[in-house]
Chain A
Amino acid sequence: AQSVSQHNHHVILSEAASLELGCNYSYGGTVNLFWYVQYPGQHLQLLLKYFSGDPLVKGIKGFEAEFIKSKFSFNLRKPSVQWSDTAEYFCAVNALTNNDMRFGAGTRLTVKP
Protein backbone atom coordinates (compact mmCIF):
# COMPACT_ATOMS: atom_id res chain seq x y z
CA ALA A 1 0.00 0.00 0.00
CA GLN A 2 1.08 3.55 -0.56
CA SER A 3 2.47 5.78 2.20
CA VAL A 4 2.77 9.54 2.47
CA SER A 5 5.43 11.68 4.14
CA GLN A 6 5.09 15.27 5.10
CA HIS A 7 8.47 16.44 6.28
CA ASN A 8 7.52 19.62 8.06
CA HIS A 9 5.52 19.17 11.24
CA HIS A 10 5.20 22.84 12.12
CA VAL A 11 6.02 25.81 9.93
CA ILE A 12 5.97 29.37 11.21
CA LEU A 13 5.96 32.25 8.72
CA SER A 14 5.34 35.95 8.72
CA GLU A 15 2.61 37.39 6.53
CA ALA A 16 3.64 37.87 2.89
CA ALA A 17 6.30 35.16 3.11
CA SER A 18 6.29 32.41 0.51
CA LEU A 19 5.20 28.93 1.46
CA GLU A 20 6.25 25.50 0.30
CA LEU A 21 5.09 22.37 2.12
CA GLY A 22 6.66 19.09 1.13
CA CYS A 23 4.78 15.89 0.36
CA ASN A 24 6.34 12.66 -0.87
CA TYR A 25 4.67 9.35 -1.41
CA SER A 26 5.81 5.82 -2.00
CA TYR A 27 3.92 3.98 -4.69
CA GLY A 28 5.04 2.99 -8.15
CA GLY A 29 1.74 3.11 -9.98
CA THR A 30 -0.77 5.73 -11.01
CA VAL A 31 -2.09 7.93 -8.24
CA ASN A 32 -4.57 10.64 -7.45
CA LEU A 33 -3.12 13.35 -5.22
CA PHE A 34 -4.83 15.77 -2.86
CA TRP A 35 -4.12 18.55 -0.42
CA TYR A 36 -6.66 19.14 2.32
CA VAL A 37 -6.75 21.96 4.86
CA GLN A 38 -8.22 22.05 8.33
CA TYR A 39 -8.75 25.55 9.67
CA PRO A 40 -9.16 25.84 13.45
CA GLY A 41 -12.59 24.55 14.43
CA GLN A 42 -13.63 23.79 10.87
CA HIS A 43 -14.18 20.78 8.61
CA LEU A 44 -11.35 19.26 6.65
CA GLN A 45 -11.77 20.70 3.16
CA LEU A 46 -10.16 20.17 -0.20
CA LEU A 47 -7.54 22.71 -1.33
CA LEU A 48 -6.66 21.11 -4.65
CA LYS A 49 -6.37 17.80 -6.44
CA TYR A 50 -4.47 16.13 -9.23
CA PHE A 51 -5.96 13.35 -11.32
CA SER A 52 -4.18 13.66 -14.66
CA GLY A 53 -2.96 16.20 -17.21
CA ASP A 54 -1.08 19.38 -16.30
CA PRO A 55 1.11 18.56 -13.30
CA LEU A 56 0.78 22.09 -11.98
CA VAL A 57 -2.61 22.38 -10.35
CA LYS A 58 -4.21 25.44 -8.90
CA GLY A 59 -6.57 25.36 -5.96
CA ILE A 60 -8.56 27.70 -3.82
CA LYS A 61 -7.19 30.74 -1.98
CA GLY A 62 -4.13 31.12 -4.20
CA PHE A 63 -2.61 27.71 -3.46
CA GLU A 64 -0.98 25.55 -6.09
CA ALA A 65 0.85 22.25 -6.16
CA GLU A 66 3.17 20.57 -8.61
CA PHE A 67 3.22 16.85 -9.24
CA ILE A 68 6.74 15.65 -10.05
CA LYS A 69 6.36 12.00 -10.92
CA SER A 70 10.09 11.26 -10.99
CA LYS A 71 10.44 12.54 -7.43
CA PHE A 72 7.15 11.08 -6.14
CA SER A 73 6.36 14.54 -4.82
CA PHE A 74 3.35 16.84 -4.69
CA ASN A 75 4.52 19.97 -2.89
CA LEU A 76 2.09 22.70 -1.95
CA ARG A 77 3.00 26.35 -2.62
CA LYS A 78 1.66 29.81 -2.08
CA PRO A 79 3.63 32.93 -3.06
CA SER A 80 2.41 35.13 -0.21
CA VAL A 81 0.71 33.76 2.89
CA GLN A 82 -1.85 35.54 4.99
CA TRP A 83 -2.70 35.26 8.67
CA SER A 84 -5.92 33.47 7.64
CA ASP A 85 -3.85 30.63 6.16
CA THR A 86 -3.05 29.46 9.67
CA ALA A 87 -4.27 25.86 9.64
CA GLU A 88 -3.20 22.26 9.41
CA TYR A 89 -2.47 20.93 5.93
CA PHE A 90 -2.71 17.29 4.89
CA CYS A 91 -1.39 15.64 1.78
CA ALA A 92 -3.27 12.52 0.62
CA VAL A 93 -2.63 9.89 -2.00
CA ASN A 94 -5.00 7.42 -3.58
CA ALA A 95 -3.58 4.64 -5.68
CA LEU A 96 -5.84 3.77 -8.56
CA THR A 97 -5.46 0.04 -7.92
CA ASN A 98 -6.87 0.16 -4.43
CA ASN A 99 -9.65 1.97 -2.69
CA ASP A 100 -8.09 3.60 0.30
CA MET A 101 -6.77 7.10 0.68
CA ARG A 102 -3.49 7.52 2.61
CA PHE A 103 -2.92 10.74 4.50
CA GLY A 104 0.30 12.29 5.66
CA ALA A 105 0.79 13.24 9.31
CA GLY A 106 -0.05 16.85 8.56
CA THR A 107 1.84 20.14 8.70
CA ARG A 108 0.71 22.83 11.05
CA LEU A 109 1.19 26.29 9.55
CA THR A 110 1.24 29.35 11.79
CA VAL A 111 1.28 32.72 10.07
CA LYS A 112 2.27 35.64 12.26
CA PRO A 113 0.51 38.94 11.48
Chain B
Amino acid sequence: DGGITQSPKYLFRKEGQNVTLSCEQNLNHDAMYWYRQDPGQGLRLIYYSQIVNDFQKGDIAEGYSVSREKKESFPLTVTSAQKNPTAFYLCASSIDLALASAREQFFGPGTRLTVL
Protein backbone atom coordinates (compact mmCIF):
# COMPACT_ATOMS: atom_id res chain seq x y z
CA ASP B 1 0.00 0.00 0.00
CA GLY B 2 1.87 3.06 -1.27
CA GLY B 3 1.74 6.41 0.39
CA ILE B 4 3.24 8.96 2.70
CA THR B 5 3.45 8.45 6.42
CA GLN B 6 4.07 11.09 9.02
CA SER B 7 4.71 10.45 12.65
CA PRO B 8 3.67 11.18 15.25
CA LYS B 9 0.15 12.47 14.61
CA TYR B 10 0.28 14.74 17.66
CA LEU B 11 3.43 16.10 19.22
CA PHE B 12 3.95 18.24 22.27
CA ARG B 13 7.15 19.95 23.18
CA LYS B 14 8.34 22.41 25.73
CA GLU B 15 9.49 25.81 24.65
CA GLY B 16 13.21 25.84 23.89
CA GLN B 17 13.39 22.23 22.73
CA ASN B 18 14.15 21.03 19.23
CA VAL B 19 11.82 18.41 17.79
CA THR B 20 12.00 16.28 14.64
CA LEU B 21 8.97 15.35 12.54
CA SER B 22 9.19 12.23 10.45
CA CYS B 23 8.10 11.87 6.82
CA GLU B 24 8.50 8.66 4.83
CA GLN B 25 7.22 7.81 1.35
CA ASN B 26 7.24 4.53 -0.56
CA LEU B 27 6.01 6.02 -3.83
CA ASN B 28 9.53 6.23 -5.29
CA HIS B 29 9.04 9.96 -5.76
CA ASP B 30 12.07 12.16 -6.31
CA ALA B 31 10.71 15.38 -4.81
CA MET B 32 9.55 15.95 -1.25
CA TYR B 33 8.15 19.00 0.53
CA TRP B 34 7.30 20.35 3.96
CA TYR B 35 4.45 22.77 4.50
CA ARG B 36 3.02 24.50 7.49
CA GLN B 37 -0.75 24.97 7.65
CA ASP B 38 -2.24 27.69 9.83
CA PRO B 39 -5.92 28.66 9.94
CA GLY B 40 -6.76 31.23 7.27
CA GLN B 41 -3.29 31.13 5.72
CA GLY B 42 -3.37 28.01 3.62
CA LEU B 43 -0.19 26.03 3.15
CA ARG B 44 3.18 27.75 3.30
CA LEU B 45 6.30 26.04 2.00
CA ILE B 46 9.10 25.48 4.51
CA TYR B 47 11.60 23.37 2.55
CA TYR B 48 11.63 21.15 -0.49
CA SER B 49 14.04 18.63 -1.94
CA GLN B 50 14.33 17.55 -5.56
CA ILE B 51 16.87 14.80 -5.04
CA VAL B 52 18.80 13.07 -2.31
CA ASN B 53 21.35 15.24 -0.50
CA ASP B 54 19.86 18.42 -1.92
CA PHE B 55 17.18 20.73 -0.53
CA GLN B 56 16.00 24.30 -0.96
CA LYS B 57 14.45 26.85 1.38
CA GLY B 58 10.84 27.79 0.91
CA ASP B 59 9.11 30.96 2.06
CA ILE B 60 9.32 30.34 5.81
CA ALA B 61 12.50 28.30 6.38
CA GLU B 62 13.76 30.30 9.36
CA GLY B 63 13.84 28.19 12.50
CA TYR B 64 13.57 24.92 10.59
CA SER B 65 16.10 22.43 9.21
CA VAL B 66 15.83 19.33 7.02
CA SER B 67 17.93 16.50 5.68
CA ARG B 68 17.51 14.17 2.70
CA GLU B 69 19.91 11.29 3.18
CA LYS B 70 17.56 8.74 1.62
CA LYS B 71 15.08 9.10 -1.23
CA GLU B 72 12.17 7.91 0.90
CA SER B 73 12.80 10.06 3.96
CA PHE B 74 12.67 13.82 4.54
CA PRO B 75 12.64 14.66 8.27
CA LEU B 76 11.94 18.18 9.48
CA THR B 77 13.48 19.61 12.65
CA VAL B 78 11.70 22.47 14.34
CA THR B 79 14.36 24.29 16.29
CA SER B 80 14.06 26.51 19.32
CA ALA B 81 14.73 29.44 16.99
CA GLN B 82 11.28 29.08 15.41
CA LYS B 83 9.27 31.79 17.13
CA ASN B 84 5.79 30.40 16.59
CA PRO B 85 6.10 26.65 16.05
CA THR B 86 2.61 25.55 17.07
CA ALA B 87 0.98 24.49 13.80
CA PHE B 88 -0.10 21.62 11.59
CA TYR B 89 2.79 20.31 9.48
CA LEU B 90 2.22 18.55 6.17
CA CYS B 91 4.70 16.53 4.16
CA ALA B 92 4.19 15.95 0.45
CA SER B 93 5.94 14.31 -2.47
CA SER B 94 5.79 14.46 -6.24
CA ILE B 95 7.22 12.23 -8.94
CA ASP B 96 9.68 14.61 -10.48
CA LEU B 97 10.07 18.36 -10.57
CA ALA B 98 11.77 18.26 -13.98
CA LEU B 99 8.56 17.18 -15.68
CA ALA B 100 5.70 19.66 -15.61
CA SER B 101 3.15 16.88 -15.77
CA ALA B 102 4.72 15.14 -12.78
CA ARG B 103 4.40 17.96 -10.28
CA GLU B 104 1.14 16.87 -8.71
CA GLN B 105 1.78 16.58 -5.00
CA PHE B 106 0.63 13.77 -2.73
CA PHE B 107 0.19 14.56 0.94
CA GLY B 108 0.70 12.76 4.21
CA PRO B 109 -1.77 12.88 7.12
CA GLY B 110 0.12 15.64 8.93
CA THR B 111 1.59 16.18 12.38
CA ARG B 112 0.03 18.64 14.80
CA LEU B 113 2.77 20.22 16.89
CA THR B 114 1.91 22.07 20.06
CA VAL B 115 4.50 23.98 22.02
CA LEU B 116 3.65 24.23 25.70
Contact = CB atoms under 8 A, between A and B. Distances in A.
Contact of A104 (B35, B42, B104, B105): B42
Main secondary structure, interface of A, reads strand
Contact of B101 (A51, A90, A100, A106): A51
B34 to A, nearest CB: 12
Contacts, number: 52
A96 B100 contact: yes
Interface size class of B (residues with CB under 8 A): 20 to 34
Contact of B103 (A4, A94, A103): A94
Interface in A5-60: 6, 9, 32, 34, 36, 42-46, 49, 51
Given A44-B92, A105-B40, 4 more contacts: A44-B43, A90-B43, A100-B58, A106-B42
